[in-house]
Amino acid sequence: MIRRLLPLFVLCVIAFAGAQTEPVAPAVRFEPVDVIVDAGNVPLGAYQFELAVEKGEAVIVGLEGGEHAAFKEPPFYDPAALAQSRIVVAAFSTDKVLPAGATRVARLHMQVTGSADYAVKLVVATDAKGEAVKAAIRTEKPKLETK
């Protein structure tokens, strides 16, 4: 009796296992990541940072400038960093009016599979004369307004 039912049992197990392992594609979405530099009261003349995907799966698909007019233009970056998970970004401004305090210097557009966390490291921040200054850096995921 058991010998007769064994093939049927095996078939059931295979069918069940097949149903369970059917790949479910994780959701792919796009998210912006803002990078904020805060040099306190010192007007920001230049900055350079490195951002990397720390956890999860994400690639860089685009980049735009900051919120202040002095850093509105897209910053410098290596085009080879697009479609990668690591990028070095830098910009400077010789404008008379420079941002002070916390200011968004760049916005990166990421293609994320599932979810991702980012690590950002400030390479250098300078004042208007190019002298290195102490500054803090952080990332934020902005909530984009939907119309």
Partner 1 sequence: MAENHEQFDLPASLKGDLRRAYAAGPVPAEMDALILRPRRRLWPRGLIAAAVAAVALIGGGVYFGTMHRPVAVAYQRTGDIRDAFYLARTLERQQHVEAGWDQNADGRVDRDDVRQLAQLAVKLPAEVVR
List contacts with partner 1 (CB under 8 A): 45-48, 76-78, 80-81, 84, 86-92, 94, 123-124, 126, 129-130, 132
Please name which of 69, 71, 70 lies closest in space to residue 35, comparing C-alpha atoms.
71
How wide is the angle at C-alpha 111 spanned by C-alphas 27 and 137, nearest 5°? 125
Q: Which of 62, 142 has the CB closer to partner 1?
A: 62
Taking the complex as a whole, the smallest distance from the CB of residue 101 to partner 1 amounts, in Å, to 20
Largest pairwise CA distance in the chain? 91
Q: Of the two residues 5 and 64, which places its CB atom closer to partner 1 in the complex?
A: 64
Residue 140 CB, nearest approach to partner 1 (Å): 21
DSSP state of 116: E
